[in-house]
Structure 1
Amino acid sequence: MVHFTDMRTITIVQADPRWEEEFSKIKAMISGHIGDLIIGIEHVGSTSVPGLRAKPIIDIDVVIEDMTCFPAIIERLNHAGFDHEGNLGIEGREAFKRRFDDGFMPYHLYVCPTDSKGYREHIAFRDYLRSHPDASREYERIKQGLARLYPHDIDRYLSGKNNFIKEILKEALYGNEKDI
């Protein structure tokens, strides 16, 4: 299933069980390039939550033990056609972007150490939504409303989700800590 969308327009679509299949294909490709350097590859983000409407873009966390292998990952992924984009303002995750259309559905690729805040938050949020259907439905409602209000403004769309995400992370990961 190749499902390309205009990545500048925020579109929330019906959940598609094929998203997991697409993730598996992308995972196999990534593993072929850097599998010996990593701990695992995780499907995160809304497309990883069964039944949750989402932007049809797969979010992927490549998990590493620590940053010692990161230069080799940059080199191999560069050779495979990926550009390293830095952390894009989020500590503990390094983004990569494919330089060409590789035939997969759109995806975001991040490399994260196991102890990084970015990775821990991705997993905690995903797992919380998977096990709390009411929270998943509320998140879907928020995303759909924001996509209608800001179909061409990704910053406002993302900002509009922040309070909900922070509340979930407080409960799922941080407990009584005030600042997350």
Structure 2
Amino acid sequence: MRKVEVVKYNPEWNQKFEEEASKLSRLFEEELVAIHHIGSTSVEGLAAKPIIDMMPVVRDIERVDDYTERMETLGYRGLGEYGIPKRRYFRKGEEERTVHVHVFEEGNPDVIRHLAFRDYLRAYPEVRDAYGELKLQLAAQHPDDMEGYIQGKHDWVIETERLATKWYKENQDA
């Protein structure tokens, strides 16, 4: 069972993202549209599990399956859709995870959902701080129960994603 570890923000997370993004850019080549740093490690000042979340956006999600073996040579384990249709999910590190890669096709609504949540937390420090406090509290309550930790923040995340997506779309149109 994995321990739930939430730590204060570490500015080195951006450098780790850049290093890994460079490798993935070379791997996916012309299939790649963009690579985004998402999740809590992408929000300055936010407490987070020390795992870098990355979101490559590709032209054709089906073609990503052709890259699984090459991802494995970089230390990733491919887990297919892993519960989210039209996604390809890879993680680096089994006992001590360091990177999660969520690959989506250009135009998938999950791309907007992830970017909106990240940008909303960046734009509203009070929301970011409330989320950080919730995560620290849940990690203390569920130190050996990742599912309990995830379930504890579920409703907060869903509501914030809803608000963030609305805000993001309004600001995209402006």
State the TM bucket, normalised to the shorter chain: 0.7 to 0.9
Q: Contact 1:93–1:116 (CA<8 Å) still a contact in 2?
A: no
* Greater displacement, 75-84 / 157-166: 75-84
> Which of 39, 44, 52 in structure 1 is aligned with 2:46?
52
Partner of 2:19: 25
> Which of 130, 139, 152 in structure 1 is aligned with 2:131?
139
Deviation digits for residues 5-29 of structure 1 (CA, Å, limit 9, x no counterpart)? xx91111111111110111011111
Label 1:153 to 1:99 Cα distance change in 2 as closer, same or farther (>3 A).
closer
Higher-helix-fraction structure: 2
Q: CA deviation at 1:169?
A: 1.6
Question: Percent of pairs identical after alignment?
Answer: 33
Structure 1: gaps (5+ residues): 1-6, 176-180
Q: Distance in 1 between matches of 2:93 and 2:44?
A: 29
Structure 2: gaps (5+ residues): 168-174
* CA RMSD across the alignment: 2.2
Label 1:92 to 1:174 Cα distance change in 2 as closer, same or farther (>3 A).
farther
* Greater displacement, 154-163 / 140-149: 154-163
> Which of 73, 86, 92 in structure 1 is aligned with 2:86?
92
Work out the number of aligned pairs and report it: 166
Partner secondary structure for residue 85 of structure 2? coil
Partner of 1:3: none
Label 1:144 to 1:81 Cα distance change in 2 as closer, same or farther (>3 A).
closer
> Which of 7, 13, 24 in structure 1 is aligned with 2:7?
13
Matched, 1:72 2:30: no
Q: Distance in 2 between matches of 1:98 and 1:91?
A: 21
Partner of 1:112: 104
Please give the TM-score of this superposition, normalised by the length of structure 1.
0.82
* Greater displacement, 19-28 / 111-120: 111-120
Please give the TM-score of this superposition, normalised by the length of structure 2.
0.85
